[in-house]
Amino acid sequence: MSQHPVTVVTGANSGIGRATALYLAAHGHTVYGTVRSIGRADKLLDAAEANEVAIELVELDIADDASVEAGFRDVFDRAGRVDHLVNNAGVGGNGVVEEMTSERLLEVVNIDVMGAVRCVRAVLPQMRERGSGTIVNITSVVGRIGAIAQGPYVAAKWAMEGLSEQLAIEVAPFGVRVAIIEPGVTKSSIFGKNTDAPDRSGAYQEQYARMLQMYAAGYHHASDAVEVAEVIRHAIETDDPKLRYPVSWGGVGIVRGRAAMSDEEWVAMGHIADRDEYIAEFGRHFGIDIST
């Protein structure tokens, strides 16, 4: 059994997950990285070799109960315990509320919400019994703001924010810590895959344009995923823990800006017809420039 902290990082094959797995492995953690297919984990293994660290691979699909249960049985058989869980794996999902399909919404929620819950259920009993452990849930700044035209993703991330807040107070008596990591725009594979703009009715062209405006600005300013990994390590190891950690480009500005706005000011932004005026107002409230 490893004497180093045993940490499971889901979605370790790319983006934030890969950066976190490598970073924690380089800082004394025995890392089990979950991937949907070990046969497709070459980039992760190559990066581990280049960084002279070891990543233990675990094949599981967070979208499936049986797969998660089997994957964590494998981890416990090999490691004996899980000290820390980093729930990173997830997908994006765009669409204004009127146009997002039930199928897509349920798919994103199943992966982004239930996927994390499945993993929590797998590790929490032994954390409770041991009286220690950390559950790190990576949500997003869109878990704190009604990001335009990203309905499925917003729904899933707001749900994870609420469940994480609930979980934190439920498990506190058992010595288990919960940390919510809220990245802004970060270099990751989800960024490139989440550019769809359904626009089925033709009524929401400007809303989709504003969403893509944010993406375009983020493409030029996206933070390195290692920044998120550093915050995750801090959240696990600090003696002065917080519940929420906004991070990356736009992260702190969006969270603080929305908290400082009234709901009426938020809704008023939707009434702005001119895109340049909208961009200026966005900058005034959130302190970031989304012009491109």
Let me know: does 123 contact 6? Beta carbons within 8 Å.
no
Comparing CA positions, the residue from 213, 223, 277, 212 lying closest to residue 251 is 223
Which candidate in 32, 153, 208, 215 is catalytic?
A: 153
- Catalytic, 208? Answer no
| Residues labelled catalytic | 153
